[in-house]
Chain A
Amino acid sequence: MNAIGDLRPALRGALRPPGFLAGLWLAVRLAWRQLRSEKARLASAIAGVMFACVLVFMQLGFRAALFESATTLISAMRADLFLMSPMTLASFRPETIPRARVSQALAVEAVAAAVPVYLAQATFRNPESGRRRTIQLIGFDMEAGVLDLPGLAPIRDALKQPDSFAFDSRSRPEFGPVPRLFAERGPFPAQIGNREMRVVGLVELGSSFGADGNAVLSEVNFRRAVRERPAALVDLAAIRLRPGADPLQAQAALRAVMPPDVAVLTGEELRAHERRYWEEATPIGFIFSFGSLMGLIVGMVIVYQILFSDIAGHLREYATLKAMGYSNTHLAHTVLGSAAILALLGFLPGTLVSSILYGVVADATFLPLAMGVERAGWVFLMIFAMCAAAGLLALRKLRDADPADMF
């Protein structure tokens, strides 16, 4: 034993423990070494986190797409204020207001223009298969410039011809290959309700949960298509204010002159109203929140299982570390470090898979699904919280590692 001579005989006095960050680094490194040592278990833990991550991304994506698509029509309108029936729950199923209210609005000083908008659902016959499907009709005065849709400006005059309409090229494909037919043939006949009309152009709006597709018509053509509708009733009025007018003051002024059968809303309020309908009056918002929560719970259980069995399977080793002078805090950092590593290792591929799925689903459903930094940030926080919760639950097992039972 020659080597013994090399070892200095000095005994150790009280020692200075590593600083917080150095200690944390050592704890996390230990966590990583432990995770790495069991590849199959690590893979299943990562798969669990990935699963939760993808599920949450999809649920949040659908949810956001729903709310976004529900308000695409309103967002496309160039108006400062809106008149709507207080009974209207959502714009795809509007209650009417008297047309007189639209002209009444002009009495308010700040109002520059008030344009009636007509909304109704009617059937559209697929020009190829002949099947009928419900489409959202949007009618308004083409000259008022109230709706700002891509593709609308050049066909404004064409839409004034009797029985013409523009088809939303981002409608669901069940309406038939209308954009392709239009590109091939130019304007062609199509049936709305029981009326023979003509597709004279394409606009872009997008399908929503309330409407699978849209058709844009002039005020006159709308009345032709929806004959049961009395001319004295409109569904929505878009109000533009004079330059420099304060929308809130104008809103107050309008409210003062309007009878209680009309609500005066800003664009933001109308969008919020629309969102609230989908969030509260339908189970859809809840379903997506519930789906996200389920994903997080399943992920948490998986991560908890992995962390718990890592501790339970190494109780003697953990107890030995405690006997050697490792503090509970340090070992807790190791467990939570494992949780953080799993969060990161599951989140990164989970986000990648979700981005790909978003593309696939957006192509299939025509819903506006896209990966965004903000949503990714939120999902990361949720996944991190999920893993942290699993880690905190697993920590309780650490108490069973009692060094006094080691001898």
Chain B
Amino acid sequence: MEHPVQIAGLTYAYGEGALRREVLRDVELRVAPGEIVILTGPSGSGKTTLLTLAGALRAVQSGSCRVLGRELAGAREGERVALRRRIGFIFQNHNLLGFLTARQNVAMALELDGDTTEAGRLERAGRILAAVGLEEHADKLPAHLSGGQRQRVAVARALVGRPGLILADEPTAALDRASGQEVVHLLRDLARSRGAAILLVTHDPRILDVADRIVAMEDGRVVANAGESAATTGGRAAAADQHGL
């Protein structure tokens, strides 16, 4: 099975001419199916840039970036938009639409799929909200939820479309310790049960334990790739399959 993320020789620079600054240099990264990879590194080391490239939010400049079987180098805008529909994004802020209920916010992720019906979308949204423990809050507006609850809605929204890959950038930064833990564990369990791979950027040492593998970056390069071996990833993937029920 092809890896959801296969990045090789990826180089990226902001600015042009004299202002040009390389922030990614010859990056190499693979994420196996069902694998949870945490990306760490000092501020400015290029983690977010790498995530936006893998998430098809930015055009690739040079190198190869294959995501969910699609080569993003040279991909057109329309192809990138289509690919984003198969990726679940979780941001530092929940970014929920304030005028929609939790259920409607989650259903928004399914409205991109022409094979769903309104009733089906709301039903699936309700089920995944129950899975993140928000059954009773499904019809509340985000303003009436706590920070941790909102981020759980965001997790539900990212996962409801059964994405093959989940990208998260500091998803716990805006949360207290307990809700942060809760959110990442939910994220891990849900992703595992569905076999989705996760690439997660964090500075938060308290959540490193959810990772199958930790990748460290520094100054635009991957410097440490702790624990990457066929055995580990294979083992984890198998464990995920059993978990998957």
Contact = CB atoms under 8 A, between A and B. Distances in A.
Contacts of A37: 98-99
B225 interface: no
B194 A7 contact: yes
Nearest to A26: B111
Contact of A16 (B57, B109, B113): B113
Interface stretch (A316-324, A362-370, A391-399): A316-324
Contact residue range for chain A? 35 or more
B3 interface: no
B127 A7 contact: yes
B86 A15 contact: yes
A327 interface: yes
Contacts of A323: 55, 57, 84, 89, 91
Interface residues of B, number: 53
Contacts, number: 135
Interface in A1-58: 1, 3-19, 22, 26, 30, 33-34, 36-38
A10 B193 CA distance: 10
Given A36-B99, A323-B84, A407-B52, A4 B190 contact: yes
A42 B51 CA distance: 38
B128 interface: yes
A26 B83 CA distance: 20
Given A4-B245, A11-B194, A22 B114 contact: yes
A407 B127 contact: no
Contacts of A26: 111
B223 interface: no
A191 to B, nearest CB: 71
Contact of B112 (A3, A15, A314): A15
B152 to A, nearest CB: 12
B139 interface: no
Interface string A325-342: 111000000000000000
A10 B162 contact: yes
B161 A6 contact: no
B43 interface: no
Contacts of B193: 4-5, 7, 9
A37 B85 CA distance: 27
A133 to B, nearest CB: 61
B86 A13 contact: yes
Nearest to B70: A14
Contact of B85 (A1, A3, A9, A15): A15
A403 interface: yes
A10 B195 CA distance: 8
Given A5-B245, A11-B194, A324-B109, A316 B161 contact: no
B45 interface: no
B176 interface: no
Contact of B81 (A16, A22, A314, A327): A327
A17 B161 CA distance: 13
Nearest to A34: B99
Given A316-B93, A320-B91, A9 B112 contact: no
Given A316-B95, A323-B84, A11 B196 contact: yes
Given A314-B97, A404-B58, A17 B169 contact: no
B42 interface: no
B112 A17 contact: yes
Contacts of B163: 11-12
A323 B57 CA distance: 7
Nearest to A27: B111
Interface of A: 1, 3-19, 22, 26, 30, 33-34, 36-38, 314, 316-317, 319-327, 403-404, 406-407
Identify the 10 closest CB pairs spanning chains A and B, nearest first: A325-B85, A37-B99, A18-B114, A325-B84, A407-B169, A320-B95, A3-B131, A12-B162, A404-B57, A9-B244
Given A15-B112, A22-B114, A324-B89, 14 more contacts: A5-B245, A8-B194, A11-B163, A11-B196, A15-B114, A16-B114, A34-B97, A314-B97, A323-B89, A324-B84, A324-B157, A406-B91, A407-B51, A407-B201
14 contacts: A4-B189, A4-B193, A7-B128, A10-B194, A12-B163, A12-B164, A17-B113, A18-B113, A18-B114, A33-B104, A316-B93, A320-B91, A326-B112, A406-B91
